[in-house]
Structure 1
Amino acid sequence: MRRAQLTTALLVAASLVLVGCGGGSDSSDDQKPASQKVAGSEEIASTWPLTGLPVTGDEDAEKTYPVLVTKMDNTYSSSPQIGLSKADMVVEELVEGGLTRLAAFYYSQLPSKVGPVRSMRASDIGIVSPIHASVVTSGAAGRTIARIKGAGIQFFQEGAAGISRDTSRSAPYNVFADLTKIADTAEQDPARPDDYLPWGDEKDFPGGQKATKIAASFGGGHTTNWTYDGKGYVNENTYAADGDHFPADTVLVLRVTVGDAGYLDPAGNPVPETKLTGKGQAMIFHDGKLVRGTWTKDDLDAPIKLSTKAGALTVPAGHTWIELVPAANGDVTFTKK
């Protein structure tokens, strides 16, 4: 139903003459296709939906495949993680035992090897639904699969073309995905995905307090540490392979409510579920500064909106790592040097 509605909307839109430049807008009404013909056959480039960065050269932001969100292990056993440097955006979420898992978003680039790929959670519904992304996963508990299917989310699990095991690694940390092969069979709405965040220009980012070191604690089991090096944010305790680190321009912390997914993992641990709806505290770390604000998300497939007391807030275009830190027992600390 959703895909049919989108296709109809595109046919209507095709009859209109669109003039303007995509990206950098708070309103989804202002989003444009990958490029547009204007007077004199001049072509105006659009922006990538997961970074807000301009599309350059002969690239096209309207792909034949959807955003592919790969669930990646984030423990020592996953070392080294492969493919993070090619991700457009990463979301870190809480899983059982106080540990975290990564949802790595791929669209502008599709690497031939990413992983280790692990199972999905019900938390992923609110994470991937705003842009109708597909999930690449090793599998999931039966009730999670039922909920993912009920939300209309396409997913690819072990057994699908492009997902295989690396015999040089130990299970379950040996599942890897070739996203170029998965893209060949993935269904895609014939349109550029919506912007995941409200992207803006560097000059529009408000001045904030100095903050060069960040510690995002997920409640006793795991803390992700970041340092601003003058160019971007370096994950000090990453498990990524050397030279394959995610190039974070911004670290966006959303304080979220975490509930119980209603079942136990094989080790007997309760499985948490991040509730990515409603509103909460937001902390935007960019250019060595912190700006505090509020995030809102009306429902599971609604976009994330950011604001301060002064009004709507945009995120400078670039690669963003989103930390979904529990509001109840998580913590975020930072230092000025």
Structure 2
Amino acid sequence: MRRAQLTTALIAVTGLLLAGCGGGGDSSDGDKKPASQQVANSEEVASTWPLTGLPVTGDEAAEKTYPVLVTKIDNTYSSAPQLGLSKADMVVEELVEGGLTRLAAFFYSELPTTVGPVRSMRASDIGIVSPVKASVVTSGAAGRTIARIKGAGIQFFQEGAAGISRDTSRSAPYNVFADLTTVAKSAEKDASRPEDYLPWGDEKDFPGGQKAVKIAATFGGGHTTNWTYDGKGYTNENTFAADGDHFPADTVLVLRVKVGDAGYLDPAGNPVPETKFTGKGQAMIFHDGKLVRGTWSKTDLKSPLTLSTRAGDLTVPAGHTWIELVPAATGNVTFTKQ
């Protein structure tokens, strides 16, 4: 059964009630609730990160002063080396024009001072970022895309905003980078902790599946992302990330999605695709060297993602997840047992 959503703040309990319930003022570790942490004003806040489901440690809080910052990153040979991916909480890979892909890297628990190369938004991003009310860090976008992003109420920061600049040692347009610690100072958020992006669960709840060690997610048009399970997590075999700056994937979640036409051409004359991230489709969860098949569903663009099998609701083990939005009609996913 899907874990209930954690709220941002629990109602503070008065000192009188505490005395009546607990007595003696004993605050031993054994009495602490694992699902929350105490803060200075006596409120309790959710103690897991919304984009990983992992516990918050130390003096940190799961509610930040800034929103989730989704950075659009180029994912071609020209982007090498990509910077900042090791600090991302989650990554979504989406189809763009010419059969290529682009990354939507989600940052919340940690903000890098250098991330990129930053590229432009697509209408596909509305369904990707809206469930957590994220802001988008981008180099810009086509006029009609900007109109749709604004119409969806999504805050975005493009070239010219504080924290976004060009690296003159690189060639344009692959030379735009962002300092998210600076961008965050200008970002507005609502008062609450972001909702969990995925239905997070425990390792023990993950069903046994068939062995799957190597994965190939093909988006059509010639691009394939390859993964290998190394006994601890999944390694992206054809990543463009800098050495030591790879995304630490604990889970690879493949969602088969419908793709339509965004209604305009890119500067090279290629039709721009639009991922339709609503409805439902096939889901493949690769975790711990195993594959579990299921179904994903999303009522509308702002709705959270739910997962299920014939047996009922399905959760994703807490950790860092890479989501592949593979076109249902033109893409393909293969795997091998070794």
Scaled by the length of structure 2, what TM-score is found?
Answer: 0.90
Paired residue type of 1:266: P
- 1:102 aligns to what SS in structure 2? strand
SS in 1 for 2:58: coil
Rounded Cα–Cα distance in structure 2 between residues aligned with 1:325 and 1:191: 32
Whichever residue aligns with residue 269 of structure 2, its letter is G
Q: Read off the aligned partner of 2:4 and give its amino acid letter.
A: S
Q: Is 1:33 the equivalent of 2:34?
A: no
Which of 214-223 and 276-285 deviates more?
214-223
**Superposition map of 1:53-202 within 5 A:** 53-202=54-203
Moved over 6 A (4+): 34-38
**Contact 1:97–1:221 under 8 Å retained in 2:** no
Provide structure 1 residue ranges, at least 5 long, that are not aligned to the other structure. Answer: 1-23
Q: Max radius of gyration: which structure?
A: 2
| Alpha-carbon displacement from aligned partner over 1:281-335 (angstroms, at most 9, x marks no partner) | 0000000000000000000000000000000000000000000000001000000
Match in the other structure for 1:272: 273
Bigger mean CA offset, 31-40 vs 139-148: 31-40
Which ranges of structure 2 fall in alignment gaps of 5 or more residues?
Answer: 19-24, 38-46
Residues 126 and 276 of structure 1 are in contact (CA less than 8 Å); yes or no, is this contact kept in structure 2?
yes
Q: CA deviation at 1:220?
A: 2.8
Deviation, structure 1 residue 269: 0.1
8 A contact 2:2–2:314 mirrored in 1: no
Separation of aligned partners in 2, 1:298 and 1:33:
23
Q: Which letter does structure 1 place at the counterpart of 2:53?
A: G
- Give the counterpart letter for 1:220 in structure 2: G
| Alignment-derived partner of residue 40 in structure 2 | none
Distance in 2 between residues matched to 1:173 and 1:159, nearest whole Å = 16
Q: TM-score, normalised by structure 1?
A: 0.90
Query: Where in structure 2 are the equivalents of 1:242-261 lying within 5 Å?
Result: 242-261=243-262
Is the Cα contact below 8 Å between 2:98 and 2:221 reproduced in 1?
A: no
Instruction: Give the equivalent residue in structure 2 for 1:235.
Output: 236
Following TM superposition, by how much is the alpha carbon of 1:221 offset from its aligned partner in structure 2, in angstroms?
2.6
Cα deviation for residue 191 of structure 1 reads 1.4
* Matched position secondary structure for 1:252: strand
CA offsets per residue over residues 103-149 of structure 1, 9 Å max, x none? 00000000000000000000000000001000000000000000000
Distance in 2 (CA, whole Å) between partners of 1:37 and 1:251 is 38
- Could you tell me how far apart the structure 2 residues matched to 1:60 and 1:27 are? 19
Q: How far apart in 1 are the matches of 2:305 and 2:192?
A: 20
Shift of 1:225: 0.1
- In terms of mean alpha carbon deviation, does 216-225 or 165-174 score higher? 216-225
Identity of aligned residues (%): 84
The residue aligned with 1:336 is 337
Q: CA deviation at 1:25?
A: 4.7
Considering only aligned residues, what root-mean-square deviation do their CA atoms show, in Å? 1.4
Structure 2: distance between partners of 1:65 and 1:324:
27
Tell me which residue corresponds to 2:263: 262
Q: Which amino acid aligns with 2:68?
A: V
Partner of 1:308: 309
Deviations 1:36-66 (A, max 9, x none): 8675565633100000000000011110000
SS of the aligned residue for 1:104 comes to strand
Q: How many residues align?
A: 312
Structure 1 counterpart of 2:213, one-letter code:
T
Comparing 327-336 with 35-44, which one deviates more in the overlay?
Answer: 35-44
Q: In the TM superposition, what is the alpha-carbon distance from 1:238 to its structure 2 partner?
A: 0.1
Cα distance in 2, alignment partners of residues 68 and 108 from structure 1: 10
1:290 match: 291
> Measured at CA, do residues 208 and 144 of structure 1 come closer, stay the same or move farther in structure 2, by a change above 3 Å?
same
